[in-house]
Amino acid sequence: MALDADIKAQLNQYLQLLENDIVIKVSAGTDEVSKEMLALIDELASMTPKIKVEKAELKRTPSFSVNRVGEDTGIVFAGVPLGHEFTSLVLALLQVSGRPPKVDQKIIDQIKSIKEEYHFETYVSLTCHNCPDVVQALNIMSVLNPNITHTMIDGAVYKEEVESKNILAVPTVYLNGEPFASGRMQIEEILDKLGQGAAVEELSNKEPFDVLVIGGGPAGASAAIYAARKGIRTGIVAERFGGQILDTLTIENFISVKETEGPKLAKALEEHVKEYPVDIMNLQRAKHLEKKDGMIEVELENGAVLKSKTVIVATGARWRNINVPGEQEFKNKGVAYCPHCDGPLFAGKDVAVIGGGNSGVEAAIDLAGIVNHVTLLEFNDHLKADEILQERLNKLPNVTVITNAATKEITGTDKVNGLTYVDRATGEEKHIELAGVFVQIGLVPNTEWLRGTLELNQIGEIIVDKKGATSIPGVFAAGDCTDSPYNQIIISMGSGAIAALSAFDYLIRN
Ligand SMILES: Cc1cc2nc3c(=O)[nH]c(=O)nc-3n(C[C@H](O)[C@H](O)[C@H](O)COP(=O)(O)OP(=O)(O)OC[C@H]3O[C@@H](n4cnc5c(N)ncnc54)[C@H](O)[C@@H]3O)c2cc1C
């Protein structure tokens, strides 16, 4: 197997950074994948004298482990880690050789203190862009703690194993032989799931904040930066730092950045926040907010209570799911939720929009200008969108409206290829061939925990004024969780800045 010349040149540079010798133990057979794996390892070994190769009998064949001299680390690759996993291989080689992983010292200490034996196995596909984060996080844990091992398993090579475990999405992680998690996860999330997260007392003992931001998406990050730049004590509590953009692939409308990817923007947000003395409490979910003796108290899911003089709620929203087979598997692989954002990716193709309310009809009109053909599916026997929107829709030559359509399944192989629905009038099952499906059955604001506390509108959005003020003095809100008419990154960031400046103004006046 010959590596592409560019990759080879890059690899050569990285391998010069190896600090100490490493031993690759290989379990190979005579099959094609084994041959490909052996060729890759030979190529690695030919580039540096620091890599030694030994034959071994590992649990799976083909597979290989990456070890220190005289000490197994427990990092195994079952398959050939090319594609998106190539970086995971390079990082594993560097880290096993002694180069420190790029994670906070606090996290390194947490990993090193784990006493339990944890054997992780992660099923991946080499085209999955969410998988490397998980593989790399678990490899770091294996490098740092001898009680932890991790095997990356290429599902395409170990098909029977994947089928017998009924794994339909990657990454899927097993721990000590039992299902542990699936989907993108950061190292902090894994530690939290293992019960190694921040302690309740540590959180409760924190000094009161001047501004406490709840939510770590674009709105929360922007609010935290604006607050911290005023030199006031700022904290940020987030269930998942990054928010919705972590689930977004291509972003082309974040003005001044022609094109980026959601996870890249989320990383940039975090790095920007970390430039300031902001206390980031990631993986913490707020469950109650109350004003007591002039202070606002925020209770977290784990029981800890944080106090602050002002609070900015920026808990965002989530797309309402249709919950049919295929939706989760093909998210970002043809199943989309944001026509403004993802529409251009389907230029010239056939797509469907599910939902005949205002957002569905607006999406269909918007998409009709870009794609080849739009099929709009509505569950009821008529569209619910405003008349004026329906009139515009009906004038479009490349839109078909199907009412009484109950979506049954979104179909595909590695990406969406169609949709099956049941005609509710006749009971007949029908299938349409498509490249994309836009689910437009509404957004749900993450405000259930504020019902009865803050004034919300009919659909649960926090009602705010021009300054981002809510019904409780000192509590501000920003972004998708508010009654703002549009939900976009740039708008959320702007409203986060407004809320922070208003909170500062409130502090100096009170
Ligand atoms: C698939 C997809 C593609 C998109 N593409 C684009 C695009 O190309 N361009 C664009 O401009 N917009 C796009 N959007 C919309 C954009 O992502 C949102 O408008 C933006 O992320 C909203 O930011 P936010 O900070 O208000 O909320 P969110 O991003 O939703 O962040 C909310 C934050 O609050 C946290 N949180 C929620 N509840 C709690 C709680 N109880 N306690 C603590 N923390 C909590 C979450 O974990 C998260 O950190 C897309 C959205 C999706 C889903």
335-439 shares the fold of 204-318+444-509: yes
The percent of residues above 70 in pLDDT, for the chain, comes to 98
pLDDT at res. 1: 57
- What is the average pLDDT value for the chain, to the nearest integer? 93
Say how many residues make up the chain. 510
Q: Which of 80, 31, 34, 25 is nearest to 58 (CA)?
A: 25
Between 414 and 294, residue with greater pLDDT: 294
Between 38 and 343, residue with greater pLDDT: 38
Overall average pLDDT of the 394-412 stretch: 97
What CATH topology corresponds to 204-318+444-509? FAD/NAD(P)-binding domain (3.50.50)
Specify the residue with its C-alpha closest to ligand 1, atom 12: 488
Overall average pLDDT of the 213-231 stretch: 98
Overall average pLDDT of the 403-419 stretch: 95
The answer, yes or no, to whether the previous bond of 62 is cis (omega within 30 of 0) is yes
**Residue 373 token pair:** 């053909």
pLDDT at res. 403: 98
Overall average pLDDT of the 474-493 stretch: 96
DSSP for 404-419, written as a single string: SEEEEEEEESSSEEEE
- Is 90 exceeded by the pLDDT of residue 60? yes
- Is 80 exceeded by the pLDDT of residue 510? yes
Ligand 1 atom at shortest distance from the alpha carbon of 241:
49
Overall average pLDDT of the 337-344 stretch: 76
**CATH number of the 5-193 domain:** 3.40.30.80
CA of 451 to the centre of ligand 1 (A): 20
Identify whether 481 is a catalytic site residue: no
Q: Is 217 annotated as a binding residue?
A: yes
CA of 156 to the centre of ligand 1 (A): 32
**Of 4, 338, 366, 386, which residue is the catalytic one?**
338
Identify whether 342 is a catalytic site residue: yes
Q: Each residue of 460-480: pLDDT tens digit?
A: 999 999 999 999 999 999 999
Q: Which of 236, 113, 133 is nearest to 190 (CA)?
A: 133
Taking each helix axis from N to C terminus, what angle separates 358-368 and 387-394, rounded to the nearest 10 degrees?
30
Coil, helix or strand at residue 321: coil
Identify whether 341 is a catalytic site residue: yes
Domain boundaries, the chain: 5-193, 204-318+444-509, 335-439
Is residue 278 very low, low, confident or very high in pLDDT (cuts 50, 70, 90)? Answer: very high
Specify the residue with its C-alpha closest to ligand 1, atom 33: 215
- Pocket perturbation via mutation, ligand 1, pick of 315, 438, 454 by most ligand atoms within 8 A of CB: 315
- Is 90 exceeded by the pLDDT of residue 338? no
CA of 249 to the centre of ligand 1 (A): 13
Of the listed ranges 216-220, 258-262, 425-429, the least confidently predicted one is 258-262
**Of 133, 154, 342, 481, which residue is the catalytic one?**
342
- Pocket perturbation via mutation, ligand 1, pick of 248, 302, 331, 449 by most ligand atoms within 8 A of CB: 248
CA of 30 to the centre of ligand 1 (A): 49
Overall average pLDDT of the 386-399 stretch: 96
Is residue 170 very low, low, confident or very high in pLDDT (cuts 50, 70, 90)? Answer: confident
Taking each helix axis from N to C terminus, what angle separates 5-15 and 32-47, rounded to the nearest 10 degrees?
50
pLDDT at res. 46: 94
Q: With beta carbons less than 8 A apart as the criterion, state whether 226 and 490 touch.
A: no
- Is 90 exceeded by the pLDDT of residue 87? yes
Specify the residue with its C-alpha closest to ligand 1, atom 19: 488
Which residue shows structure tokens 């100490």?
A: 20
pLDDT at res. 108: 94
Ligand 1 atom at shortest distance from the alpha carbon of 317:
30
Of the listed ranges 14-23, 53-62, 241-250, the least confidently predicted one is 241-250
Specify the residue with its C-alpha closest to ligand 1, atom 39: 315
pLDDT at res. 333: 80
Is residue 337 very low, low, confident or very high in pLDDT (cuts 50, 70, 90)? Answer: confident
Q: Which CATH superfamily is domain 335-439 in?
A: FAD/NAD(P)-binding domain (3.50.50.60)
- Is 70 exceeded by the pLDDT of residue 12? yes
CA of 90 to the centre of ligand 1 (A): 32
Q: Each residue of 310-328: pLDDT tens digit?
A: 999 999 999 899 999 999 9
Overall average pLDDT of the 167-182 stretch: 87
pLDDT at res. 54: 96
What is the CB < 6 Å shell around ligand 1?
214-220, 237-241, 243-245, 247-248, 251, 253, 285-286, 314-317, 319, 337-338, 341, 446, 449, 479-480, 487-490, 492
Is residue 202 very low, low, confident or very high in pLDDT (cuts 50, 70, 90)? Answer: confident
**Of 128, 133, 192, 341, which residue is the catalytic one?**
341
CA of 244 to the centre of ligand 1 (A): 3
Of the listed ranges 83-87, 178-182, 336-340, 467-471, the least confidently predicted one is 336-340
What letter would DSSP give residue 146?
A: T
Overall average pLDDT of the 40-46 stretch: 94
Distance separating alpha carbons of residues 195 and 177, to the nearest angstrom: 18
Q: Which of 281, 122, 115 is nearest to 212 (CA)?
A: 281
Q: Is 479 annotated as a binding residue?
A: yes
Distance separating alpha carbons of residues 105 and 85, to the nearest angstrom: 25
